[in-house]
Amino acid sequence: MAEGLEVALTDLQNSWNNVRHRTEEISSSRLLVRRGQAFNITLFFRNRAFQPGLDNIIFVTETGPLPDLPKGTRAVFSLASHRGPSPWIASLQAIGASSLEVSLCAPPVAAVGRYLLKVHIKSLQGPVTAYQLGEFILLFNPWCPEDAVYLESEPQRQEYVMNDYGFIYQGNKNWIRPCPWNYGQFEENIIDICLELLDKSLNFQIDPATDCALRGSPVYISRVVCAMINSNDDSGVLNGNWGENYSDGTSPTEWMGSVAILKQWHAAGCQPVRYGQCWVFAAVMCTVMRCLGIPTRVITNFDSGHDTDGNLIIDEYYDNTGRILENKKKDTVWNFHVWNECWMARNDLPPGFGGWQVLDATPQETSNGLYCCGPASVRAIKEGEVDLNYDTAFAFSMVNADCMAWLVFGGKEQKLHQDTNTVGNFISTKSIQSDERDDITEDYKYAEGSLQERQVFLKALEKLKAGRSPGSLRAESRPRSVPLSDSPRSLATPSLQPSNVVQVSLKFQLLDSPDMGQDIRFVLLALNMSTQFKDLKVNLSAQSLLHDGSPLLPFWQDTAFITLSPEEAKTYPCKIPYSQYSQYLSTDKLIRISALGEEKSSPEKILVNKIITLAYPSIVINVLGAAIVNQPLSIQVVFSNPLSEQVEDCVLTVEGSGLFRRQQRVLIGVLKPHHKASLTLQTIPFKSGQRQIQANLRSNKFKDIKGYRNIYIDFGL
């Protein structure tokens, strides 16, 4: 009589499976697999061989604190040739003298997360025996055509899932600069922190069984992660701060990687890390989503609208010196704003709206009561389908709102002009497998000035009106001092600019690149487009801006009187000395110069402005010698103080996934004016392939002098 079959040992074949599931960079010592793709395990028996007719092996997988068959968080499936009721599959691979190799496969809709794998063995004669075989982590699978996150292109999968570094574009539309970032989604413990993040969400705290059951949906997971990156509703990862005081934390501009932030959050018992702004929220979300297996990229939108009242118009207020005023309504244009796109099917929407979806983890407005935004279909944004889930109207306004400029004078408001193409420029992301910038503006909107673009804008506006009670769409926003005929315009045609009425054009032009520590030299170009003489009075001002568009007080003002002959052009030279702007500069290094011009014979006023982002010289990183896995490597970092004054409390930070196991911090102390220095760091690379080193220098006068170096690590022998 055959005795019951006893399991002595299980080999989860971690290393072999992880290579095939493209998770070997996370670990080779524990099992991490992707749904919809088979993985192999081997059972070793203590007493005899497996006999197919005699022994029935039943596998059980469980995830979450309350595994449940109807909810799909528990599965029971047998090793049999016929398909059972469970969507999980077990199939026989090989029978040995005292072993059995089995292939297991999770359905492509299974919940992602941490699983327990058990086995029940029923032999004809013996009792049923149960064994716990071990744990594994199940991830989304963009390589599986049945998975909702399937992405067809292998170069795109390599960039948007597997690449652990990249660039986030910052600056302004006239000066776009790449900021290097270490996503580090495969670094030690990051997967555990990502799963902990899901378990800290309000959804899990309120109803863990349902939350775990819904984790098979990338739409659901992306909303949960989006809300958890900011800390406005929960014990999320980052505290936002758009002020000027970061003394009780880290200035958002200092960060250059997600790993340090996620590890700090975990080490502090899931207390929010101070501080983040939009690019930090988006970069950390990119790390989490790529780690979970959802293709994700980071997007920058220059001149990004924040329309608080949903009328697709952003109102900006100026005084008669040309300076921008604090906005009572909090409508603003951010010089740039950063969000994510995640790739997924949208079975909850009409056909055609899958693909890239906007997710914005920066806490701006609530969505279903929580601070998150998206997923909003990029195609829906382009087509003006602003009534589709989730938060498509808000995303539409970020790239397509119109701008209305008002002059506030003597308690009254006068409309200066309405601009249809200020908002949403040079929408940018890193190119696939290259360090170049991709401009994806046409994914979001039709060409500015085209008939299609205006038609889509009108469609979006109509849908927003239809979605509200009559009269609630801020028709009353018109200032009472302006005749009604002057305020609304046909949205199908851009308004006539005041410069066309006055027939004078004003424009700013920089004479040098605006480097930190140097005087800012620029000219105001005035052009008379008429056949009459023109007498102009132009008020000029300069003020610092915070990243979210909030203005600080002006620190420079000037008045120019310019007489122009018919069709004459003149330049008016201007200079703002470093000594004048240095003490007024915010950490965002943004200066807005404005000119408000009026002509004696016309009541119309002409407003022009320009945003200047002050630049630092980059850190230079040199790799000394060949870079080989597990071989010592020397890295030289060259940096300097760009200012004509001494700086103190200098700290150099260096990191890079696969090169440094933790952030390297070197206290430099004092740097004399314009002093150049270098130091050499030693490390032992532990991962092969294309890598990046990121460096940041901070002091009491600046926070974010950055540099990077791409490096290829050879596998060696």
State the amino acid at position 186 in one-letter form.
Answer: F
Ligand-binding annotation for 400, yes or no, is yes
Which alpha helices (DSSP H) does 592-674 contain, by range? none
- Distance CA(697)–CA(705), nearest Å, equals 5
Spell out the residues 6+ positions from residue 241 whose beta carbon is closer than 8 angstroms to its own: 249, 252, 274, 275, 276, 277
Angle at 555 between CA 550 and CA 559, to 5 degrees: 110
State the amino acid at position 712 in one-letter form.
Answer: Y
Residue 636 is encoded by which pair of tokens? 């030289």
Q: What is the phi/psi pair of residue 463, to 5°?
A: -65, -40
**DSSP class of residue 230?**
B
The DSSP string of 367-378 is BTTBS----EEH
From residue 276, give the alpha-carbon distance in Å to each of 170, 256, 291, 299: 15, 11, 20, 16
Q: Do 699 and 650 touch, CB atoms closer than 8 A?
A: yes
Ligand-binding annotation for 154, yes or no, is no
Three-state DSSP class for 502? helix
Residue 179 among the catalytic residues: no
- Distance CA(510)–CA(321), nearest Å, equals 21
Ligand-binding annotation for 402, yes or no, is yes
In the set 278, 372, 403, 650, the catalytic residue is: 278
167 conformational bin, left if phi > 0, alpha if psi -120 to 50, beta if neither: beta
Classify residue 22 by burial, with Cβ atoms within 10 Å: 0-12, 13-18, 19+.
Answer: buried
In the set 337, 391, 574, 650, the catalytic residue is: 337
Q: Hey, which residues does 131 pair with through a beta bridge?
A: 119
Q: Do 414 and 262 touch, CB atoms closer than 8 A?
A: no
Residue 337 among the catalytic residues: yes
CA dihedral 411, 412, 415, 421 (to 10 degrees): 30
Strands 238-240 and 273-276 come out as: parallel
CA atoms within 13 A on the CB side of 675: 13
Three-state DSSP class for 17? helix
Spell out the residues 6+ positions from residue 121 whose beta carbon is closer than 8 angstroms to its own: 4, 5, 6, 7, 55, 56, 57, 58, 128, 129, 130, 131
Residue 360 among the catalytic residues: yes
In the set 360, 391, 548, 704, the catalytic residue is: 360
Q: Hey, which residues does 711 pair with through a beta bridge?
A: 691
Which residue numbers belong to the known binding site? 400, 402, 448, 453
State the catalytic residues: 278, 337, 360
- Residues making up the annotated binding site for Ca(2+) are 400, 402, 448, 453
